[in-house]
Chains A and B, each alone.
Chain A
Amino acid sequence: MRTMRRTVDRTAGKVMSMREAVAAFVHDGDTVSLEGFTHLIPTAAGHEIIRQGRRDLTVVRMTADIVVDQMLAAGCVARLVSSFVGNSSAGSLGELRRRVERADPEPLVFEEYSHYGMVCRYLAGAQRLPFYPLRSYAGSDLPAVNPGIRKVTSPYPAADGSTEQIYVVPPVQPDVTIIHAQRADHRGNTQIWGLTGVQAEAVYAAEKAVVVVEELVADAVIRADPNRTLVPAHAVDAVVVCPRGAHPSFAQGYYDRDNAFYRAWSAISKDPERLRGWLEEWVYGTVDHAEYAAKLGEEFWAGLAVGEALSEPVNYGRRL
């Protein structure tokens, strides 16, 4: 049954710490979407979920990569919904493979989709639709292992008058979606540039939304460029300021991707002892992301510095 979405007070200030946001919005057993398509991955949020010891989560993420492997290793995740379970093009996710291949140390329930299947699930969730059709999956073995992917008959004839069949996917409505963004105002109007992925749809699909940002900016900065606002304040429950919180992914205009860490992850995650040691040192051993970022050191961050490529301002002027 379709229900109205709860109303967020779009005028209220929502700025809180990562610790407060995860404590308030991520609970044991929740369905948690973490989105960011290679760009702006909410790693710092994943690490705080690990620190707070959440259990039995269903994690929804198109590209389940390093942060998901870390959450798996920390025992936070019982179920994964994803369309790509790999370490980018840099190698394997050791913990994920142990869980799936050998149920080691415990089984992982895995719902496998394709990228557009995941996008359509978010679209259906955001738009409160019972399903979303897509021209994928015909002849694939995926529907046989994923009962969420179903074939229906179109109620309309095709162009040639014939009856048309099409696959559909169900909505996903996470308890909470967490995204990382370049900047927002204190009410949650969130601006993203560069790769924008599926973040807006993932936020609108969710019951609650947490936006983690590189920078908190004044209302005037947002309102000087409203087209860049991907997520309006009315859809955002919390704003967390967490510079460098997307590492090892990148934030366009702020810092580059840490390709060396992606390459290193295959070896770290291949050995369970080494992976546990990594979590001890970098997640449990740091009180928050600020300490994690400081521990990496300024010399390290200088290596990920980006140059300047400013856009031309546009004129939003109205009638005089």
Chain B
Amino acid sequence: MSGQRAGGTGPVTSSELLSVVAARELACRRTVFAGIGLPTLAAELARLTVAPGIEVVYESGVCGAHPSQLPETIADAVLITGAEAVVSMPTLFGSVLQGGHIDVGFLGAAQIDRWGNLNTSVIGEWERPSVRLPGSGGAVEVMANAREVFVVMRRHTPRSFADVLDFCTTPGPDRALADGIRPLGVGVTRVITELGVLARDGVGDELRLVAVHPGVTVEQVRAATGWKLKATDRVTTTDPPAPAELRLLRDDVDPNRVYLR
């Protein structure tokens, strides 16, 4: 299974583009809470490019991971071997995350709304859902306590970019404030999708389209979004992955194509 495409110069795939764009966004960030999949690729690529000093923290309790191979789960044994620290769940969630040590948290979701609220629990009614999803995991804690949150969505559809969430598992700061509680962070600041990049600055802001990927139009993104998506005055086009970024991603970060498609 090892690397038929490693070192290849084939066309850039969507997952490669998403990883590169997410990695660039990590410039100057110090501590990143990463889940498995594209966030892992992004964090590892950032370490090799724009953020050499980055500390990757995993939900399993690993702080300062230095995996010799790409981890297949957040608890892969390769994350433990050679790690700087492994802490218990109470320390990880209570002191590291709730204590305010995480600059950027990566999250995914089945649904996101214009305020960056996330649904990972159900499609349909909670009591008798049409699809039962895994639920929060640590997402509620990441959103409430990381300085900012990046969301990576492989699919950009009106169903996943929903006008109204079927269920809000993980609320952003606007919903938290309406409930009378001020969270530590500003919630979602970047949403990186197969079509482009949405951004919001903080409390009170809606997600706005700031960049489209090469070959994608603003209208296409609007049509794929379930609410009336606002855009910045000058929507830019994403710089395609540079040859050096692609080479690192394909040859060094994920040579066995664990997550790259």
Contact = CB atoms under 8 A, between A and B. Distances in A.
Contacts of B169: 140-142
B132 to A, nearest CB: 4
Contact of A138 (B75, B80, B181): B181
B98 A101 contact: no
Contacts of A84: 134-137
Main secondary structure of the interface of B (DSSP, over half): loop
B172 A139 contact: yes
Contacts of A252: 77, 80
B72 A100 contact: no
A141 B167 contact: yes
Contact of A134 (B86, B98, B134): B98
A52 interface: no
Contacts of B27: none
Contacts of B195: none
Contacts of A201: 89-90
B175 A139 contact: yes
Interface string B61-96: 110000000001111110011100011111001100
A114 B138 contact: yes
A141 B61 contact: no
A136 B132 contact: no
Nearest to B73: A88
B144 A136 contact: yes
Contacts of B177: 138-139
Given A39-B60, A198-B88, A145 B127 contact: yes
Interface of B: 36-37, 59-62, 72-77, 80-82, 86-90, 93-94, 97-98, 117, 121, 126-141, 144-145, 167-172, 174-181, 183-184
Interface of A: 37-39, 62-63, 82-86, 88-89, 96-97, 100-101, 103, 112-117, 119, 123, 134-142, 145, 151, 164-167, 194-198, 200-201, 250, 252, 256-257, 259, 306, 309
